[in-house]
A and B are shown apart, each in its own frame.
Chain A
């Protein structure tokens, strides 16, 4: 049975709209965490944190993956399916690389005695970057499902809505990362 009807005049597909509302909700969560950070950074015994260099590499990687998923979306719309599969595959690999790099960053920090003990920016960094990484992992899972479907899907998909939704989400976690990085550079470093 059909659920979403195109009969109605609508500006945006309901699924895309739902994603935008979900993004608003995620923004609130990270706004809550970063404002908690600001409140706490005024307390005594606050220790700032310096970001290891590996986070810069991960930034480059996730920016690249944003580019590849955009290209994937374009090739899907042009019905160039082989190019689409390759680009989705590359995006998945870049996403996985991002997660690995984040993990290396955590290990690097932990080795510098930035642990859960005491107080300071480090604890927030683990929670906030960790939550962000979880959202990237969720995105990777979605991309893997789409990748498999592009190869083995029995029904041909012509609607670009799922790809657009995935791409928008992916750009969002990318932008979110940039925000978090800048936040920790500007406010976390002092």
Chain B
């Protein structure tokens, strides 16, 4: 608290005394690691919490893949652990829906939103723009703790007697609004909504900070067009979050009212279990509009940070300037704008006016243009580079691969006519898992491998890193590629048992294969987690401040920077961050003044 107060009182004075008291500024364990206001520590807190959630969410997917791959098999061990949720060693329907819902919620929000942009926005923004910390470290700390409490509430919902929310991660009413609809619609859904409200507060606090830090706290010489691309990506991510999350909050508040106070925002003319409900005049579609107005930008909230980090990592490790820096900015901007204009493509089959639908088709397909520009620039950055195949580089290249193959199926789904056949099938599952889920995970892994030396002053183990990459890469395609075929054949998503359809029986062996591969891939992620924690304490030590030979400012700090990042003055910036392989030099850091005879980039 006292630090936050300092900000208000004599800002400049506090700055002057700072250098003197650096050496004997002892922090307690609590203020250093728990209620820390250092952006680097908060970033690590987000990362480790996100990893815990990723293990939980990933385990859920293994469990329901067991059901999908081996619908008739009994696994007595499941009954040991989950009791009546897995009676006779078989996953019960209510449990299955709870697992699917929680898997989606946890991975989309807790891992790929908080765990990804929470980690890297916190870690990279002050370090790469040359600031001592965020605009408001106190709000930043609150942001993490709101996220933490949201997680506790969500975790609690898994352990209540009636089970967690099970209406799908989109939580559509009327299913999610009526307690009578099922076990998961009881207290579990209320906890889900409360947890999401807390989560939204957390991401708003974070987003506010990211925006004002990037716009107001750049060091001398760091003009907007000299910002490294991860920062631009985090900036657009934060803008998307700040503008779209409040709309989800308003949707969630109305849903809470409908569930608990008898209002009819979303409910109308419902008969359930023979009982006629008094609600009238509500519109379930209204919720879908409010949800997807967030839900679609959310896709880019997840993806943009990964894009930004991949751009940086590819440029550093191919020892070449990023190809088309301004085109990268322009396409980020275009994606951010279009993100707000395409939400109804999730609602093509809800009875949406077909003419309106065609407008959304056009806008949706327009996203292919900036996406293609980005892919082109990544490939041309790699083209004829001196590529160093570090694990980070491999994951970045893997990201590009997944983004291409997942993006192409987006063109199928973006057409409202083809969507009539493909909506709510496994094709959709395959599409968004590849393009949004796995691709963003790859961006995140790339970031972890690349900036681990900055975070902990040690390297991750490379051999384990290569194994991690290859198994995950091949596994991701083995898992999700066949789902396209299943979807084209009409297998619906979210169904726990398709034995009733003779035509789907041919996919039995395929489902088994997918399940086995998911288990292997999950095990390899655990190996990564082991590598992560082992390397924090026992990894190979970093001996030089700039191990990758990178230009950006974070590598001008000490190997283990303290709170405040730079011991002396914040360095001044004289050039853009991508002067690699220029004028016969391998790299020229941003802090180096432009020479008299230097060629232009």
Contact = CB atoms under 8 A, between A and B. Distances in A.
Contacts of B4: 3
Interface in A1-15: 1-10, 12-15
B6 A2 contact: yes
A131 interface: yes
Interface in B264-293: 264-265, 268, 278-283, 286, 289-290, 293
Given A116-B257, A119-B264, A2 B15 contact: yes
Interface stretch (B181-189, B244-252, B401-409, B436-444): B244-252
B263 A116 contact: yes
A25 B241 CA distance: 9
Contacts of B32: none
B286 A32 contact: no
Name the residue in A3, A40, A116 with the highest tally of chain B Cβ atoms < 10 Å from its Cβ.
Answer: A3
Nearest to A123: B263
B9 A4 contact: no
B219 interface: yes
Interface string B491-503: 0000000000000
B242 A158 contact: no
Nearest to B248: A32
A162 B5 CA distance: 10
A44 B10 CA distance: 59
Contacts of A44: 281
Nearest to B39: A3
B9 A14 contact: no
Contacts of A123: 257, 263-265
A127 interface: yes
A63 B147 CA distance: 36
A161 B134 CA distance: 17
Contact of B281 (A116, A119, A159): A119
B215 to A, nearest CB: 7
Interface string A86-129: 00000000000000000000000000000011111001100100
B574 to A, nearest CB: 16
Contacts, number: 174
Interface string A46-70: 1000000000000000000000000
Interface stretch (B205-213, B224-232, B505-513, B548-556): B205-213
Nearest to B289: A39
B312 interface: no
Nearest to B253: A127
A162 B7 CA distance: 10
Nearest to A155: B9
Interface stretch (B135-143, B422-430, B455-463): B135-143
B254 interface: yes
B164 to A, nearest CB: 26
Contact of B262 (A10, A15, A46, A117): A117
Nearest to B287: A36
Q: How large is the interface on A (under 10, 10 to 19, 20 to 34, 35 or more residues)?
A: 35 or more
Interface stretch (A16-24, A75-83, A167-175, A177-185): A16-24
Given A2-B14, A2-B132, A3-B6, A131 B253 contact: yes
A33 interface: yes
Nearest to A13: B216
Contacts of B218: 8
Contacts of B207: 21, 25
Contacts of A150: none
Interface in A121-154: 123-124, 127, 131
B3 interface: yes
B323 to A, nearest CB: 31
B217 interface: yes
Given A5-B15, A32-B247, A18 B9 contact: no
Top-6 shortest CB links A-B: A119-B281, A29-B246, A14-B135, A32-B247, A2-B14, A2-B15
30 contacts: A1-B3, A1-B14, A2-B6, A2-B11, A2-B18, A4-B11, A6-B12, A8-B219, A12-B216, A14-B213, A15-B7, A18-B208, A18-B211, A21-B207, A25-B204, A25-B242, A25-B243, A28-B243, A28-B247, A31-B247, A32-B290, A33-B250, A33-B254, A40-B283, A118-B264, A119-B268, A119-B282, A124-B265, A127-B253, A157-B8
Interface of B: 3-4, 6-12, 14-15, 18, 21-22, 25, 37, 131-137, 139, 204, 207-209, 211-213, 215-220, 242-247, 249-251, 253-254, 257, 261-265, 268, 278-283, 286, 289-290, 293, 563-564, 570
